[in-house]
Amino acid sequence: MSYDPNNIFARILRGEIPCKKVFENEQVLAFHDIAPKRPVHVLVIPKGAYVSHDDFAAKATEAEIAAFTRAVGQIARDLGVAESGYRLIANAGVNGGQEVPHYHVHILGGANVGPMVSAK
């Protein structure tokens, strides 16, 4: 899948759509999900144009990957969920239920996140 520069998160990165920012550095932006599923629900995105985790893993620089990984951990600590626990989710593609085609990790916490996925 090629990157769509008009996806919602690309527009947030360009400042065309507002967000409730919780973290930003040269490589990474994080903001509250517009429809939170738990008391803490933050989205962490790389600033580069990557569609999914596999796209990011294949094309991002070592520096981008390190910055993103470190930012996710830092944000979890800053949000106060590192002690009580949290879940990271990275949906990809149709079967993964990805709605926004710019790579992102959900950090969910502040309450029990529940079972991983229901069996089918």
Active site residues: 104
Nearer to ligand 5GP, 34 or 57 (CB): 34
User: In the β-sheet with 105-109, what is the strand arrangement from edge to edge?
Assistant: 21-24, 28-32, 40-46, 105-109, 86-89
Residue 82 touches ligand 5GP, criterion: CB under 6 A: no
Residue 33 touches ligand 5GP, criterion: CB under 6 A: yes
Residue 115 touches ligand 5GP, criterion: CB under 6 A: no
Which positions lie near ligand 5GP, rule CB under 6 A?
Answer: 8, 17, 19, 31, 33-35, 43, 91, 97-100
